[in-house]
Chains A and B, each alone.
Chain A
Amino acid sequence: MTQEAPPARECYEEADLLEAIERCFDLGWTDGLPVVPPVPNLVERFLSQTSRDPNEVIWTMSQLRRACTVELAAINAAMAGCRPEYFPVVLAALEATIDEGQPGVGGWQSTTGGGPLHIVNGPVRTELGFNCAGNIFGPGFRPNATVGRAIRLIILNVYGIRPHELDQSTQGTSGKYTLCIGENEEESPWEPLHVELGYAPNESLVSAVHVRSCEFVDHRHSAEPHHILSDIALTISRTGTGAHSHMRAVVILGPEHAQALARRGLSKQDVKEYLVEHVGMARAQVRALGRSPVSLTQAPTEEDRPGMFAPTVHHADYEDDGAPDEFLPMIAAADDVLVVVAGAPNAGVSAVGHPLGLARALPGRAMVDAPMSA
């Protein structure tokens, strides 16, 4: 359904509710699921959660000449099914998504079709009930389900990046409906992500990474760090992620894995450095995939304006004459790996998120403003 106009506050009586839900479909304001009609008094309740001017522009996508204001964000958060008190988190999630830099360089329109993974840290997780433990990527928790959905509705409805039009996804991913997790700070052996990034433990932060998919790593037969991390490194190394000489990875460690690693004395930094050393493949394997010309290029320079496509430039004059058994690393630096701990401590299961290219920031980040009522 092509969208006829951007969402606006519609006036409906309660008796018209079912008709209003259908009207939102007719107007092209949905992700395919029913939305909550953005009746004026509901949108007002969202706007009352922030001191920001409803007309304040959060970000303009210059190539589309479309901007999201605080009011448009509130309308879409209401439609996504958020409770009004989630609104400061929605604003932070949107700003973190922008901060990462992908939307400005076409990440939302990419053929590999990913979307933002949002990671919530700090007290707001427990205050609002974000799921940080079992089934983090699955259904059942309103904050996770609706905050991520609000960002997707903003991408669809405000920026107009819709499938079969500006969204060029070949296959897309179910994570485009919502992909919002809380870090399991309570069962992590390490400092939480927001503290690692320089924020205070009592501050709340949303981090964002554009991922093309998240993939499980089932490793429950050994608690040896090099076994666990080799399995994770193999998953990251796979050609599906790109097999470029410069790429990034998000590692969402289940608490069981994280605790096993910490028990043997590994820090988060140790995990990152291990992966820098071990993510990659032998030159012969890269050749077998026919990827040498696009894979073995130099790092993007300042002049290349590091962005999503810089590492995929085909170097026609590249001489692939190295030794077949030479190991070719794919991650340049520890800062290109993001490690978070989430999930239930009930099995040796972790996940790897595959980011798109080299965005401006890893991760994008934005603090959650304290609620107005606090």
Chain B
Amino acid sequence: MADVILLERRGVPSASICTEALKASANAMAAIQGMPGYRYAVIPHPVSSLGDDEIAERAKLALPQVLDILHAKVEAP
């Protein structure tokens, strides 16, 4: 989350993908980086134990969110 926000600050359009289970720390980090409420793609947990097909399903869920985030205007503070 910190990396993505730092990239945004440098003007690089960025999107972060996070699982449901890790939202609390993602939100905390966004607040620390001065962007509370920073929007990111959310997919179900887990990821690391999935097979190739299940990973592809996760990617299908993430992709429209990522595109939406990249197309939205984000004002870096």
Contact = CB atoms under 8 A, between A and B. Distances in A.
B32 A65 contact: yes
A165 B25 CA distance: 5
Interface in B15-29: 22, 24-25, 28-29
A63 B5 CA distance: 11
B20 to A, nearest CB: 13
A105 interface: no
Interface residues of A, number: 10
Contacts of A64: 2, 32
A6 to B, nearest CB: 13
B25 A166 contact: yes
Contacts of A167: 25
The contact size tier of chain B is under 10
Nearest to A170: B21
A146 interface: no
A273 B38 CA distance: 50
Interface string A150-169: 00000000001000111110
B22 A166 contact: no
Nearest to B34: A65
B2 A63 contact: yes
A139 B41 CA distance: 45
A109 B32 contact: no
A168 B25 contact: yes
Nearest to B29: A166
Nearest to A62: B2
Which residue, B22, B28, B32, has most C-beta atoms of chain A within 10 A? B28
Contacts of A65: 32
A166 B28 contact: yes
A123 to B, nearest CB: 41
Contacts of B28: 165-166
Contacts of A109: 25
A150 B75 CA distance: 40
Q: Which 4 A-B pairs have the closest CB atoms?
A: A165-B28, A63-B2, A168-B25, A166-B28
